[in-house]
Every structure is written in C-alpha cells, then in structure tokens.
Structure 1
Amino acid sequence: MPTYDYECEACGHALEIFQGINDLVKKKCPECKKNKLKRQFGTGAAIVFKGSGFYQTDYRSEGYKQAAKKDSESKSEKKSDSKKSDAKSSDPKSSKKKSD
C-alpha cells in the first residue's frame, strides 16, 4: 500500500497517510478538525520498499550482467561438450571395436 502526503489548507498541518490505492481521499484534518485536508501531488502514489529484503546487488551494473552472461554461456558450452563425449563413448561402433 502506498503512502500519501496530505496538507491542511486551514492550519497548514502536513502529514503522511498509509492507505490503499482504492481508499477514499481523506478530508478531515486531525489537528484542526476542519474538512480542508488536500492530498498533495508527488511521489505519494509510489510503493515504498523498506526492510531487509532489498539489496543494492539486486540492481547490478551492465558490466556485471555481461560477465555473468559470458560465464553462463561458457558453462553451457562445457555441458554440451561433455554430452558429445558421452555420446561418443556410448556409440555402438566404438563398443564393437573394443569387443573384437
């Protein structure tokens, strides 16, 4: 749920309210109790990420992404090479030669 910024036009009190996107806009100021509270434009509609679940490493640089891509490609090549060598050793022609 996003946090919205509000300001009272009567007394100037500013506050943040944590509410759902579909919730009605608040009108009544908690300080002066007048119906002059207005929601401010800005970053209030965005979701605020807090907590230990988000890390700087979640957003890697382009250089890191390219190096990781090369690393994964080299690993996939090694796997395909080992599959080819396994296929050669299980080839019936090569086993026939060994039995002769």
Structure 2
Amino acid sequence: MPNYDYECQACGHRFEVFQSMNDAKLTDCPQDGCGGMVKRLLGTGAGLLFKGGGFYQTDYRSSSYQAGAKADAGSSAASAPAPSSAPSTPASN
C-alpha cells in the first residue's frame, strides 16, 4: 500500500497518508478547526536502495560457473608479468 501526499488548499498543511490504492481520496483537512479541502499531490516516488547480495547478474550464477571464473582469474594472475625488483637509478649527466 502506497503513501499519498496531500496539501490543504485553505491552510497549506501538508501531510502523508498510508492508504490502499482502492480507498477514496481524502477531501477534508485533518488540522483542528480548518476543515478545508485537500488536494492529493503527485509524487515522484521514493528512490530505490539496493542493499546486500542478489542485485547483480553474477550473484545468481551456478557454482560451476563461479568455479570456472575463479580458475580463469587465477590463471590470468599467474600469466601476468611480475614487477621488476631491480632498483631504479637516476641517469647521470
């Protein structure tokens, strides 16, 4: 069930209501002594937050695929040239 934002046309009070999509729109302001007409505001919705695993294509790969990927990563690291351990010396004039 979504939250809907409303604004009173008389007093400017803004509020949020958690109601079903099938419920009728509110018409009266809930502020004490106001009773003005309210208007439902169009919202942009909330931003999505993706936390934890399960949101990437690779999270659902089979175990055989993951084992192959590990093997490929290990072999590519082994075939990479090792950094030289020779100290660099400045060129003399």
Query: TM class by shorter-chain length?
Result: 0.5 to 0.7
Distance 2:28 2:2 in 1: 19
TM-score, normalization: structure 1? 0.50
The residue that corresponds to 1:93 in the other structure is none
The alignment status of 1:33 with 2:25, answered yes or no, reads: no
More helix by share: 1
The residue that corresponds to 2:54 in the other structure is 58
Distance 1:6 1:58 in 2: 36
Distance 2:64 2:23 in 1: 46
The residue that corresponds to 1:69 in the other structure is 61
Distance 2:18 2:8 in 1: 17
| Number of residues of Structure 1 aligned to a counterpart in Structure 2 | 64
Distance 2:51 2:65 in 1: 26
SS in 2 for 1:38: strand
TM-score, normalization: structure 2? 0.53
The residue that corresponds to 2:3 in the other structure is 3
The residue that corresponds to 2:17 in the other structure is 17
Structure 2 unmatched ranges of 5 or more: 68-93
C-alpha distance 4-72 of structure 1, shift in aligned 2 (>3 A): farther
